Amino acid sequence: MTDTVSRRQRAAGTEAALKQAARDVFAERGYLNTKITDITAAAGRATGSFYNHFASKEELLEALLRDMLAAADDAVVDGAGHDADFSKRSAIRWHVATFWTFYQSHLPEMIAVKQAAMLDPELGRRLQQIMADDDQHMIDHFSHLPHPPADPMVAISAMNALLEGFAYTWLVVNPSNGQTITDEAAIDTLTDLLHHGLTG
């Protein structure tokens, strides 16, 4: 029994090390330039051990995405100040601030998802499906609006595109003129656009 537990603990430790190494190497080299051997070297593991946990780099990215979305769900459930009433600016701002912090904390994965989707449309669709499943809980947030959108999923996709595109512009690419933006200014800008757009 002890040997079984020990093997499971070692396996869990290797999987966690591979995931953290992937985040580190993605941040340093980018997803497209990262090889599996780069990940295993950074994790201090044999290359063969990778395939005991993941069939490919793409599968590892999917696992990272599931992990970070699960962590985001926990933060929403446990988060003080969470309010599902999107008729209130404060409720929208809380969600925008949570997203902004989440994006900053997971820059390697968010950039990797974008790069992977460009390289492999089928993988991009799978990654989108993982994120779309996470969008379902947002539908109730629109029910509080004076005029809820006829198709909530279309509204959610527009909201996600605004949030992700804005975050990518300011946290990853940065404007060519060298301009920067504070977290508070970014959050307030997004909040005002969404609040006015959703409430009219």
- Residue 73 Cα distances to 99, 100, 176, 180, 182, angstroms: 11, 14, 34, 29, 25
pLDDT for 104: 92
CA dist 23 and 20 (Å) reads: 5
* Contacts (Cβ under 8 Å, ≥6 apart) of 106: 68
Q: Which of 39, 54, 69 is the last residue of a domain?
A: 54
| 46 and 72 inside one domain | no
| 3 and 93 inside one domain | no
For the stretch 47-106, pLDDT in tens is 999 999 999 999 999 999 888 888 777 666 666 788 989 999 999 999 999 999 989 988
pLDDT for 186: 97
The CATH number linked to 142 is 1.10.357.10
The pair of structure tokens assigned to 121 is 């449309």
Determine phi and psi for 33, rounding to 5 degrees.
-90, 0
3-state class (DSSP) for residue 66: helix
| 167 and 79 inside one domain | yes
Per-residue pLDDT of the chain (200 residues; tens, 9 = 90+): 566 657 788 888 899 999 999 999 999 998 999 999 999 999 999 999 999 999 999 999 999 988 888 877 766 666 678 898 999 999 999 999 999 998 998 898 888 888 888 888 888 888 778 777 667 778 888 888 999 999 988 998 899 899 999 999 999 988 888 899 999 999 999 999 999 999 88
The pair of structure tokens assigned to 9 is 């603990």
Return the H-helix or E-strand segment holding 195: helix 183-199
pLDDT for 63: 92
- Total domain count for the chain? 2
pLDDT for 90: 95
pLDDT for 68: 86
| 128 and 193 inside one domain | yes
CA dist 101 and 131 (Å) reads: 17
- Residue 34 Cα distances to 30, 79, 173, angstroms: 6, 35, 20
**Eight-class DSSP state of 176:** T
The whole domain housing 49 covers 1-54
CA dist 158 and 145 (Å) reads: 16
pLDDT for 137: 76
* Contacts (Cβ under 8 Å, ≥6 apart) of 144: 84, 85, 86, 87, 88
The pair of structure tokens assigned to 190 is 């997004």
**Eight-class DSSP state of 35:** -
Helix spans in 30-168 (H): 36-43, 47-50, 57-78, 89-105, 107-119, 121-135, 139-142, 152-168
Q: Which of 54, 74, 98 is the last residue of a domain?
A: 54
* pTM for the whole structure: 0.81
